[in-house]
Chains A and B, each alone.
Chain A
Amino acid sequence: MMTIKAFSLVSAVERELLMGDRDRINIECVECCGKNLYVGTNDCFIYHFLLEEKTLPTGTAAFTATKQLHRHLGFKKPVNELRAASALNRLLVLCDNSITLVNMMNLEPIPTGARIKGAVTFALNENPVSGDPFCVEVCIISVKRRTIQVFMVYEDRVQIVKEVSTPEQPFAVAVDGHFLCLALTTQYIILNYNTGVSQDLFPYCSEEKRPIVKRIGRQEFLLAGPGGLGMFATVAGISQRAPVHWSENVIGAAVCFPYVIALDDEFITVHSMLDQQQKQTLPFKEGHILQDFEGRVIVTTSKGVYILVPLPLEKQIQDLLASRRVEEALVLAKGVRRNIPKEKFQVMYRRILQQAGFIQFAQLQFPEAKELFRSGQLDVRELISLYPFLLPTSSSFTRSHPPLHEYADLNQLTQGDQEKMAKCKRFLMSYLNEVRSTEVANGYKEDIDTALLKLYAEADHNSLLDLLVTENFCLLTDSAVWLEKHKKYFALGLLYHYNNQDAAALQLWVNIVNGDICDSTRSDLYEYVVDFLTYCLDHELVWKYADWVLQKSEEVGVQVFTKRPLDEQQKNSFNPEDVISCLKKYPKALVRYLEHLVIDRRLQKEEYHTHLALLYLEEVLQQRPSANGKGAEVTEMQAKLRSLLQKSDLYRVHFLIDKIQGTGLHMESAILHGKLEEHEKALCILVHELKDFAAAEDYCLWSSEGRGDPYRQRLFHTLLAIYLRGDPSDCELVVPAVDLLNHHATEFDAAEVLQLLPDTWSVQLLCPFLTGAMRHSIHTKRMTQVALGLAKSENLIYKYSKMKLKGSSVQLSDKKLCQVCQNPFCKPVFVKYPNGGLVHTHCAANRHTNQNSPSPGNRT
């Protein structure tokens, strides 16, 4: 059985003080009221003691009783019961079936001799129904069979107020308000002496076993039940608490919240009312009386008086915690809530929760621990400080005193068990991560985040990076040292960056990429650095590392210039001339950069366009030094060159023509001539040099793009002329000429073509051209007719409306107002809208310019 020390037993009245060596004298009853202790004996004496409590240096309480008086009552009977009524300064003494009143101080009987006769036992009503403070209510079991009587007892008189008869002989009584709780021969009942209504509680054979009826608080009684139970019952006849299980032969019981104390012939047992568990057993031989008086529990043998001193609840709770009985400690703490001032309780309870949390923590019961830490509002640093080196050196934290737990650190707690240690660290990680953004963290976010960073770094945890790239309070120096120690250089860079030390960050990362230091966090660190520089606002850093990134890779490195954020580009904060001169050594990068300027940003500057074209050209020439152009695949570079030549109008054409002369880049030179509007020259090159008739046809199409039909027709005619101009016997150009006509019939002026064609050509040969030309011609004619017809009818419609409007007359008068400005017309000039509305001419004009004003059409 798990026990707790809830009470200690101390002696109050030594045997010698009472009876000396007279062996036959026994204690019959006791009463304690404030410091007054009364003892009644079997030889009809009452003793009065003054009880002094003092605390020994050891912290335990001790009592000394000083005898004041003793007095013989004048009978040969024992003193059965004593009860003090301090408001009346009276002691009620039951002796020889009669209750007499004596003065509390001098034990003299009162002169009136008022007494209650015929009482077997009695009880005071501690919840009296009369409001009279100078009267106590006494309830007796009468010597008359099955009779209970209720008396009012005043300073010097008594008065019977009620007599009720009970169904069976009563053996014990307690009273609360109008309710009597009675032990009858075979059962306990609640009896309302005012109404006579009774309520059975439960059967109990009072003749076999001594019943106990004890009022324990407002409207609640404690009863001895079957099988050694202590039963609770309210005046309503119900039980609100589970019973406690004491022993079979209990002779006395008392309550000292939250404990029920019971006495049998060998032990004093202590049960908690909160969880019904037995908490303490004190050996106590020949126990005779157990009673509580206003919270003071007195126990006697027949020879001596003892006091059960409760240990302070806090001490009890601490003892429970010390033996790791968290659940019980919490139950006890919660249970005594109402017995402790609220402020004090909250502080105490919070501390208990925290301590309990550490107990669970030490047993690796993390969810429980977490919940306790949370509800106990633990200063997280208490937990962090368990882990060596986690708190920043600058932290001002010191552990609370007295300590919340007995552990110096985690090593001691886990006794060096690495696995346990790892578990604890994982717990702290998740716990800190959870609380860091809550109000628990307020005031020491630095300590928390720094600790978290250290844990992550040590455990090689992914979240390290997340921590550093989001808002955090990691302390720079402490964290930096730790990250370096754990070789988390990439993360260290992030830390520097977070602390606005980009130069340091970059230096670290560059060193990692260069292999000077080792950290494999990111395999794409180079790209990361490029990206970083791309968005880096410190341009000096970009310039500083431009060469480094370009040397690593021209294509990727150039991104630091080409992919800069848009808003920055618009500010043109990097001067293109500077960039170009920087990129001189990196031709591929330079091409990319110029492409960026020309194509992406569409900068309309001749130099960039020419420069780019030239670079393309050089590259093309380099790729095919012995180029003759024929049949060779068009390389990507060549395609880019052509595209630029075609699309841009800014480069210096003559300069490029000079460059391209004799290189065999016919297509390109055709494009260049085309740019100069030298279409004949261009087409000649395509036809004669390249013999690429399809390209020639294409040329006609793209060169004329967006320039109208006649321009295109001219190009096609030029091409046809080139074909036909050749030697007629040279059949080589006949086929393309025929194809050209047949494929593009509609691009020609058929009449003009027919004049040009040699007579020898058959109609069959030109059939598609002729049909096409014919169809086109007819189509054009018909379309024109349709258009003409439509135009005529539209004209007619307008004429009609005009006639209609002119048809009716308009009368202007003072009452006619302009629909726009609501003013009358002063001159016979107005505008009339189709819906009939009249407005001033200037208003109409305004309205046309200002579309927001309401239309008069809406108003009418």
Chain B
Amino acid sequence: MRKPDVKIVLLGDMNVGKTSLLHRYMERRFQDTVSTVGGAFYLKQWRSYNISIWDTAGREQFHGLGSMYCRGAGAIILTYDVNHLQSLVELEDRFLGLTDTANTDCLFAIVGNKLDLAEEGAAEDQENEQDSSREAGGSCVPAKVPKQVKLEDAVALYKKILKYRMLDEKDVPAAEKMCFETSAKTGYNVDYLFETLFDMVVPMILRQRAEGPPQTVVISDYEKQPKQMKSGCCA
């Protein structure tokens, strides 16, 4: 088994399409999925680097596993469903806390999936540019609903995340660059999402290599506040 150089983790509520996104990117197709159990793992060769991508389970039952999956992550993709406001809310309420174990310089991407179902984003054509999605008529495809979550909402969340992680906006990629709207079904923006992230994590890999052996071998003492025993509290 090749040792991955960096880890990217997909987080988000169940049914938002994490597995579908990853599947679309890796297998180049859209296929029926079953709700993920536990988690799954892909290794992607990008240039000369091995990037591991973890697909997590959104189901409440597996929520506790998230922290462990995020440990040492170089990038986290927070995924919501553009037609489902609650899925965005959950990202802040439930999933953000899981990212405490990620690397301090971990990148965050916020991804609104299932754009194809939204009226506004009826961009069926995979090749479409990002902005042209607004012009598409969408009258020909039935069962479209007005998009519930605006891109601005995602941008707002991104800024909240920076506050939560106590990061300065100046030190991280701009919100506009890190908020994506995708469709795993049509493939819209999917390659763009992953490849933008891959390109961004490459410098992290180089930095890590320069700093010495990966921190995965020994428990990193410098990780934010080793969870000291809550001992004594009931003694």
B218 in complex: contacting residue of A201, A204, A236, A239, CB < 8 Å = A236
Q: Could you say which of A94-102, A221-229, A550-558 contacts chain B?
A: A221-229
Chain A residues closer than 8 Å to B220, beta-carbon distance: 236
A646 part of interface (Cβ distance < 8 Å): no
Asked if A199 and B72 sit within 8 Å, CB to CB, the answer is no
Within 8 A of A (CB), among B184-211: none
Given contacts A166-B229, A200-B227, A227-B61, whether A239 and B216 have CB atoms under 8 Å apart is no
Q: Is the CB of B218 within 8 A of A203?
A: no
A241 touching B37, Cβ below 8 Å: no
Pairwise interchain contact A245-B217, C-beta atoms closer than 8 A? no
Given the interface pairs A226-B61, A234-B216, A237-B71, the reply to whether A242 lies near B40 with Cβ below 8 Å is yes
The 8 Å CB contact of B227, one of A199, A202, A203, A242, is A199
Residues of chain A within 8 A (CB-CB) of B231 are 146, 165-167
Q: Are B215 and A245 in contact (CB under 8 A)?
A: no
* In the assembled complex, B226 has its CB within 8 A of some CB on chain A: yes
Stretch in contact with the other chain, from A112-120, A190-198, A742-750: A190-198
Residue of A nearest to B223 (CB): A199
Cα-based distance from A197 to B64 in the complex (angstroms): 21
Chain B residues in 8 Å Cβ range of A239: 39, 54, 68-69
Tell yes or no: A549 within 8 A of B by CB.
Answer: no
The total of chain A residues at the interface (CB under 8 A) is: 38
Q: Per-position contact with B for A218-252: 1 when CB-CB < 8 Å, else 0?
A: 01000001110101011111111111110000000
Q: Give the 4 A-B CB pairs with smallest separation, nearest first.
A: A243-B38, A203-B64, A242-B41, A229-B38
Docked-complex contact B229 and A165, CB < 8 angstroms: yes
Bound Cα distance A200, B62 (Å): 15
Contact B61 A198 (CB under 8 A): no
A198 partner, pick from B40, B216, B229, beta carbons under 8 A: B229
Q: Is B140 in contact with chain A by the CB < 8 A criterion?
A: no
Q: Is the C-beta of A472 less than 8 angstroms from some C-beta in chain B?
A: no
CA gap between A200 and B66 in the complex, in Å: 11
Enumerate chain A residues within 8 angstroms of B69, measured Cβ to Cβ.
Answer: 239
Q: A236 to B68, Cβ gap below 8 A?
A: no
CA distance A242 to B57 in the complex (A): 11
Q: Residues of B contacting A242 with CB < 8 Å?
A: 38-41, 54
A202 and B65 in contact (CB under 8 A), knowing A234-B216, A235-B219, A238-B72? yes
Judge whether A301 is part of the interface by a CB distance below 8 angstroms: no
B170 within 8 A of A: no
A236 to B221, CA, bound (A): 11
Residue-wise, chain B 1-33 has the 8 Å CB interface mask toward A (1 for contact) of: 100000000000000000000000000000000
Q: Which residues of A contact B (CB under 8 A)?
A: 146, 165-167, 179, 187, 190, 192, 195-204, 219, 225-227, 229, 231, 233-245, 276
Residue of A nearest to B66 (CB): A202
CB-defined A-B contacts under 8 Å, sample of 28: A165-B231, A167-B229, A197-B219, A197-B221, A197-B226, A198-B226, A200-B67, A202-B68, A203-B64, A226-B64, A227-B37, A227-B38, A227-B62, A229-B37, A234-B216, A236-B71, A236-B219, A237-B68, A237-B101, A238-B71, A238-B72, A238-B216, A240-B1, A242-B39, A242-B40, A242-B41, A243-B37, A245-B38
Q: Inside 8 A of A197's CB, which chain B residues have their CB?
A: 219, 221, 226
Contact present for B41 and A241 (CB under 8 Å): yes
Minimum Cβ distance to chain A for residue B171 (Å): 25
Cα–Cα, bound, A797→B54 (Å): 99
Task: Give the residues from 144 to 192 in chain B that come closer than 8 angstroms, CB to CB, to chain A.
Answer: none
B47 at the interface (CB under 8 A from A): no
**Across the A-B interface, how many residue pairs have beta carbons closer than 8 Å?**
91
Contact (Cβ within 8 A) A198 B227: yes
Inside 8 A of B217's CB, which chain A residues have their CB?
219, 236
Within 8 Å CB of B62, what residues of A? 226-227, 229
Within 8 Å by CB of A233, from B41, B61, B68, lies B68
B-side contacts of A234, CB under 8 Å: 216
Question: A229-B38, A234-B216 known; 15 other A-B pairs, CB under 8 Å?
Answer: A165-B231, A192-B219, A198-B227, A200-B67, A202-B65, A202-B67, A219-B217, A225-B38, A231-B65, A236-B72, A236-B220, A238-B68, A239-B54, A239-B69, A243-B37
**Chain A nearest CB: distance from B229 CB in Å?**
5
Q: Mark B54-90, 1 if CB is under 8 A from A, else 0.
A: 1000010110110111011000000000000000000
CB distance from B58 to the nearest CB of A (A): 13
Q: How far is the CB of A235 from chain B (nearest CB, A)?
A: 7
Chain B residues with Cβ below 8 Å from A227 are 37-38, 59, 61-62
State the CA gap A201–B67 with chains docked (Å).
7
Between B65, B228, B230, the greatest number of chain A beta carbons within 10 A of the residue's beta carbon is seen for B65
B64 contact set on A, CB distance < 8 A: 187, 202-204, 226
A239 and B38 CA atoms in complex are apart in Å by 11
State the CA gap A225–B39 with chains docked (Å). 12
Tell me the minimal C-beta distance from A168 to chain B in angstroms: 9
Main secondary structure of the interface of B (DSSP, over half): loop
A239–B62 alpha-carbon span in the complex (Å): 14
Q: How distant is the Cα of A200 from the Cα of B39 in the complex, in angstroms?
A: 18
Count chain A CB atoms within 10 A of each CB in B68, B230, B231 and give the residue with the most. B68
In this complex, what residue of B is CB-closest to A274? B1
Nearest Cβ on chain A to B39's Cβ, whole angstroms: 6
Residues of A within 8 A of B227 (CB): 198-200
On chain A, the residues within 8 Å of B229 by CB distance are 165-167, 196, 198
Whole-angstrom distance between the Cβ of A261 and the nearest chain B Cβ:
18
Cβ < 8 Å to A, chain B residues 69-120: 69, 71-72, 101
Residue of A nearest to B226 (CB): A197
- Contact residue among B38, B72, B219, B221 (Cβ-Cβ distance under 8 Å from A231): B38
Chain A residues whose C-beta falls within 8 Å of the C-beta of B1 in the assembled complex: 240
State in angstroms the CA–CA spacing of A17 and B101 once bound together: 54
Chain B residues with CB below 8 A from A240, complex form: 1
- Closest residue of chain A to B42 (Cβ to Cβ) is A242
Residue of B nearest to A238 (CB): B71
Provide the bound-state CA to CA distance between A203 and B68, in Å.
10
Give the chain B neighbours of A167 by CB distance below 8 A: 229-231
Residues of A within 8 A of B228 (CB): 198
CA distance A198 to B71 in the complex (A): 14
Residues of B within 8 Å of A237, CB to CB, are 68, 71, 101, 219
- A242: shortest Cβ distance to chain B, in Å? 4
- With both chains docked as a complex, state the minimum distance between the C-beta of A330 and any C-beta of chain B, in angstroms: 15
Question: Closest Cβ of chain A: how far from B226's Cβ, in Å?
Answer: 5
Cα A196 to Cα B227 in complex, Å, equals 10
What A residues does B40 contact at CB under 8 A? 242, 276
Please report the C-alpha to C-alpha distance between residue A254 and residue B228 in the assembled complex, in whole angstroms: 31
Taken together as a complex, chains A and B put the C-alpha atoms of A244 and B38 apart, in Å, by 8
- Tell me, rounded to whole Å, the shortest Cβ–Cβ distance linking B16 to chain A: 19
Cα–Cα, bound, A202→B67 (Å): 7
Which of B61, B64, B227 counts the most chain A CB atoms within 10 A? B64
Pairwise interchain contact A201-B68, C-beta atoms closer than 8 A: yes
What is the distance, in angstroms, from A482's C-beta to the closest C-beta of chain B?
43
Is B38's CB under 8 angstroms from A236's CB? Answer: no
CA distance A197 to B216 in the complex (A): 15
List of A residues within 8 angstroms of B215 by Cβ: 236
List B contacts of A204 (CB < 8 A). Answer: 64
Return the chain A residue nearest B70 by Cβ.
A238
Name B59's closest neighbour in chain A (CB-CB).
A227
- A197-B221, A237-B219 given; A243·B39 CB < 8 A: yes
Whole-angstrom CA separation of A240 from B231 in the bound complex: 30
Which residues of chain A are near B72, meaning CB under 8 Å? Answer: 236, 238
CA distance in complex: A199, B67 (Å): 11
Task: Find chain B residues with CB under 8 A from A195 CB.
Answer: 221
Q: Please, which residue of chain B has its CB at the minimum distance from the CB of A204?
A: B64
Complex Cα distance, B230 from A583, in Å, reads 117
Chain B residues near A236 (CB-CB < 8 A):
71-72, 215-220
Of all chain B residues, which has the CB nearest A234? B216
CA distance A201 to B216 in the complex (A): 14
Residues of A close to B230: CB separation below 8 A: 167
With both beta carbons as reference points, the residue of chain B lying nearest to A227 in the complex is identified as: B61
Residues on B with C-beta less than 8 A from A203 are: 64
- Measured between beta carbons, the chain B residues less than 8 angstroms from A233 are 68
Nearest CB on B from A34, distance (A): 30
